[in-house]
Structure 1
Amino acid sequence: MKKIEPILDSSEIKKSIALFKQGQVELEAWQTLTNNLYSHNSLLSFQNDWITFVNFCRDVNVCPLPAAVTAVRRFVEHSAKTRKAASIKRYVITLSLMHRVHSLPDPTRHREVRFTLNRLYQEKSDDAGQANAFMLSHLSELTARLGNSEKLKDVRDLLIWTLCFEGMLKRSELAALPYNAPRETEEGFVLAVDDQLIALSPEAKEQVDKWFEMSGIIDGPLLRGINKHGHLSDAPMDHSSIYRVFRRAATELGLEGSLTFSGQSPRVGASQELADAGKTIKEIQHQGRWKSPAMPAQYVGNKTASSEAMAKFKRKIEKD
């Protein structure tokens, strides 16, 4: 966790608490709160995690900031029913940050919360294992099943699976896509992710066009939540929604119980497909926008290269 100077002025603390208790707060406010020390994707993660916590607090009628120790413990236990250990750890980091930066006691440090976390981490110790690979064959079958559907949710979910696989997108990248991320260029139809242009297939273009036609989106986030009545939200999708979309993929394929897809699954599958096509670890690393070759090496089963790359990357961090 980076060293962020807390707010010390009592009136500023009160004003900031009132703002963030709303849950949905613009990224500019997060940038100011964190002293401009975090990347865009990190701020998106903080934003989504905080919205998740505030929504939970509203559901159980408790205050999110400052949060009581019991509220945090209940939130952790509630999240553990559907989320993996890594997600829970990230939630705790966000909650800790929010309290420390507002000069408030940190409820995540309380022994009651720490005991609950340690117990859950032990129960979820297998979460650290590699995600199941979402392969091209899975995407092709889902396209055959849902490609002609006129249901907005089907169109959105198929587009999510396609973009995540073809673009090797992380969940944070997917959630951050603006409406104009897919675009026509002289080189063809591409997806803009940060400063990189990723080539998309003709099938992906058809899905993008269908999504725009049915959703009517002309600005804001590209991918959004859809409520039980089929109404489209103005807000981008959060990590929980993305998780449910990939859980649905396994259900549609009749694999529920034998395979569990997560937001990481398309990156695993795409890495393996590229390796099978003769791409090097370095080329896969570049295409997936990894800082180190360790993860793509692990995904394609090269454990020796993965260990060497991770050790080299850690030495570089320590040196920096």
Structure 2
Amino acid sequence: MKKIEPISDPISIKQSLSTFKQGDIDLERWKLLTMGQYSHNSLLSFQNDWQTFLAYCKEVNVSPLPAAVTAVRRFIEHSAKTRKASSIKRYVITISLLHRVHSLPDPTRHREVRFTLNRLYSEKADDAAQANAFHLSHLNALQRQLGNSDRLKDIRDLLIWTLCFEGMLKRSELAALSFHSAIKEQEVYLLVVDDQRIELSPEASELIDRWLLVSGIIDGPLLRRINKHQQLGDAPMDHSSIYRVFRRAATELGMDGTLTFSGQSPRVGASVDLSESGKSIKEIQQQGRWKSPAMPAQYVGNKQAKDEAMDKFKRKIDKD
């Protein structure tokens, strides 16, 4: 938050408090209060968010300025029923700003309010839209559809989908793969990711051989951009190009508009498939290289395991 000097004159504080308690503050007044440090859109947000808080305080008959800690906490809980976490975060920023500028104790800094916010953000994160799972069935369908293609882009994209699923790769891990990350031992390849060796299937190994043959890559990034003329570039894939590859997967499967695949989708789908095959959360965590079992547990819908992992993680942070 930007540094705004509090009003120092007692008479000015009293007049300003009276004005802001009434509401309907024009943008010029907000600009003056914030010393011209915020954009027009930010001032509009302050104005709208403060009106929302004022309306709540009027409804429950409590003071908005200064606001009690309990009033702010209940306002947050009330707003959480219908508002996104980002909106509530803005409300809290606005309430905090007005208290600090008027030299009043900031109720949003109280541990009771912070605890409520942390709990809310955790709950809202659970409710956030998760990437659609990219399952083995999706990969198999794409292999049947594009497996015989000689097009450079088809071979590359099929390799990307396969490596991401079998290796449970993050986008950053995929982009960081080099020619030397794929080590051939006998008939199959081992993929080296963060010092971990992932044994690939014969199908994935065959795709790597085909890709290296048609691309001519002998050094540098393993996966690279391809322009509209089917010319291979020197630069590695970035996050936006990886996103487009997975968006293409949904299109090729005839699910465009129904499913939204992203670079995270194979990790979600592989976690679910492994769980359904009998793998434990711990085994999935190790295979996906997660530091905590919380995320794979969330992916497979094991909320209890996720909550236990999060509690353990928080206790570790507290000790540190």
* Structure 1 counterpart of 2:269: 269
What is the letter of the counterpart of residue 213 of structure 1?
Answer: L
* Structure 1 counterpart of 2:310: 310
Distance of 1:128 and 1:271 partners within structure 2: 18
> Normalised by the size of structure 2, how large is the TM-score?
0.61
- Shift of residue 264, structure 1, vs aligned partner: 0.5
Q: 1:199 to 1:112 in 2, by over 3 A?
A: farther
What is the letter of the counterpart of residue 156 of structure 2?
Answer: R
* Structure 1 counterpart of 2:229: 229
What is the letter of the counterpart of residue 258 of structure 1?
Answer: T
- Shift of residue 188, structure 1, vs aligned partner: 4.6
- Shift of residue 129, structure 1, vs aligned partner: 2.1
Q: Is 2:179 the counterpart of 1:179?
A: yes
Q: 1:113 to 1:193 in 2, by over 3 A?
A: farther
- Shift of residue 310, structure 1, vs aligned partner: 1.6
* Structure 1 counterpart of 2:297: 297
* Structure 1 counterpart of 2:203: 203
* Structure 2 counterpart of 1:133: 133
Distance of 1:200 and 1:151 partners within structure 2: 23
Gaps in structure 2 of 5+ consecutive residues: 1-36, 46-83, 88-123
Contact 2:188 2:205 (8 Å CA) reproduced: no
- Shift of residue 115, structure 1, vs aligned partner: 4.0
* Structure 1 counterpart of 2:23: none
- Shift of residue 308, structure 1, vs aligned partner: 1.6
* 1:167-222 Cα distance to aligned partner (Å, 9 max, x none): 00000000000112111237952111011000100000110000000100010010
Distance of 2:238 and 2:152 partners within structure 1: 18
* Structure 2 counterpart of 1:192: 192
Contact 2:188 2:202 (8 Å CA) reproduced: no
SS in 2 for 1:254: coil
Q: 1:308 to 1:234 in 2, by over 3 A?
A: same
Distance of 1:237 and 1:128 partners within structure 2: 27
Distance of 2:280 and 2:162 partners within structure 1: 23
- Shift of residue 231, structure 1, vs aligned partner: 1.1
- Shift of residue 317, structure 1, vs aligned partner: 2.9
Superposition map of 1:110-189 within 5 A? 111-112=38-39, 115=42, 128-185=128-185, 188-189=188-189
Contact 2:275 2:300 (8 Å CA) reproduced: yes
SS in 1 for 2:198: strand
Distance of 2:40 and 2:242 partners within structure 1: 27
Identity %: 69
Distance of 1:288 and 1:230 partners within structure 2: 33
SS in 2 for 1:134: coil
Contact 2:182 2:192 (8 Å CA) reproduced: yes
What is the letter of the counterpart of residue 204 of structure 1?
Answer: A
Gaps in structure 1 of 5+ consecutive residues: 1-109
Distance of 1:298 and 1:163 partners within structure 2: 22
Distance of 1:175 and 1:199 partners within structure 2: 19
- Shift of residue 155, structure 1, vs aligned partner: 0.5
What is the letter of the counterpart of residue 154 of structure 2?
Answer: D
Q: 1:211 to 1:120 in 2, by over 3 A?
A: farther
SS in 2 for 1:183: strand
SS in 2 for 1:198: strand
What is the letter of the counterpart of residue 299 of structure 1?
Answer: Y
What is the letter of the counterpart of residue 152 of structure 2?
Answer: L
Distance of 2:138 and 2:40 partners within structure 1: 40
SS in 2 for 1:225: strand
